[in-house]
Amino acid sequence: MFYSVRMRATLEGKHVSGQERIVKKEDLERVILELHRRPKGDWDFQTLKVERLKEPPEVIEKSLSVRSYKFSCIPLAVNFIVGILETEHGIGREITKPLLAKLQKGLNPEGGNLKGALIVDPKTGEVLNEDPTEGVRTILFDWLDREGVRDELLKRGYTERTLDALALATKNIYCGVEAEVCISDDPDYTTGYVASERLGYIRISPIKEKGSPFGGRIYFVRREKLEETLRCLRKKALLIRELSTLG
Ligand code: COA
Ligand code: AMP
């Protein structure tokens, strides 16, 4: 029997922390407490959801492989992403350039960040979100041996932040997202990533100005795969066994 445990904390209505796990019953109490204690800063409202999964999660053997590229300035980092999406995925720069410019300023057409991802057709550039002010959230993913993978990542010089973002990106690609671009909305964190089956997970810095509260995620999904991909992102529970040894 497996359970999804999802925690979210806010302060005066503003999101401050969110994390989730997929665990067996014997680990449930420990993990609930762990997630309860998780927010580092102040919060005044916390939700902890515990959901028994109807079927065991699918286990995939390996995450995407991780690499890091550093650039001397943000425009070079952006050009790299535009170039690699064009050469490796055929996504035209007339689509990616304006999108990345928007991503750096927040993707919500009403201003600011979306609470989830913007879904874009890689062939036409069309936004596929039912409501473009509502982002799509990826949930129900974890590592089979979270502590082991965390230790391995830290040994390789990565941070705990990579642990969650890599698991999320790995699930996205498993579900049919052709490529993902992410910029954190944390004003102190200027490393973003581009991910796909072919590229793996490429950390890119700097991708935005320090101090900027804007960020977001773009998922490139073909229109014909949209329904199936959205169902998978929201409903399919996925555990990842280990870190890819490449990179
Ligand atoms: N920023 C702003 N709003 C957020 C948010 C964020 N980062 N995370 C969640 N929310 C909002 C959702 O948009 C939703 O708003 P709504 O009620 O207005 O629709 C609300 O919080 C509840 O979200 P939901 O996904 O339904 O809640 P949940 O309790 O099932 O799961 C999370 C909450 C945060 C655990 C889950 O959404 C999630 O993001 N899981 C992945 C966490 C993770 O590892 N992320 C890695 C990032 S590097
Ligand atoms: P973060 O990496 O947590 O800084 O989040 C950066 C942005 O990614 C947020 O502003 C959201 O737009 C989006 N986001 C955060 N969590 C999710 C999620 N679970 N699924 C999809 N998009 C997300």
- The number of residues making up the chain comes to 247
Pocket test for ligand 2, best of 185, 233, 235 (most atoms within 8 A of CB): 185
pLDDT of res. 117: 98
What does the pLDDT look like over 8-32, one tens digit per residue?
999 999 999 999 999 999 999 999 9
Question: Residue 245 pLDDT more than 90?
Answer: no
What does the pLDDT look like over 91-110, one tens digit per residue?
999 999 999 999 999 999 99
Say how many CA atoms lie within 13 Å of 69 toward its Cβ. Answer: 20
Question: Residue 247 pLDDT more than 60?
Answer: no
Measured CA to CA, the distance from residue 16 to residue 131 in angstroms comes to 24
Q: Which ligand is nearest to the CA of 185?
A: 2
Cβ of 140 less than 6 Å from ligand 2: no
Q: How many CB atoms sit inside 10 A of residue 161's CB?
A: 13
CA of 199 to the centre of ligand 2 (A): 20
Binned at pLDDT 50, 70 and 90, residue 215 comes out as very high
Crossing angle of helices 93-103 and 74-89, rounded to 10°: 140
% residues pLDDT > 90 (the chain): 98
Q: Is the full-model pTM beyond 0.85?
A: yes
Residue 117: closest CA among 17, 240, 229:
229
What does the pLDDT look like over 113-130, one tens digit per residue?
999 999 999 999 999 999
Measured CA to CA, the distance from residue 206 to residue 212 in angstroms comes to 12
| Ligand 1 pocket list (CB less than 6 A) | 6-8, 15, 18-20, 47, 49, 115-116, 137, 139, 164-165, 168
Alpha-carbon distance values, 186 to 54, 150, 181, 216, 226 (Å): 35, 21, 16, 10, 29
Residue 137: closest CA among 217, 35, 65:
217
Binned at pLDDT 50, 70 and 90, residue 246 comes out as low
User: Stretch 203-215: mean pLDDT, rounded?
Assistant: 97
pLDDT of res. 160: 87
Measured CA to CA, the distance from residue 131 to residue 92 in angstroms comes to 24
User: Stretch 72-96: mean pLDDT, rounded?
Assistant: 98
- Are 228 and 221 in contact by the 8 Å Cβ rule? The answer is no
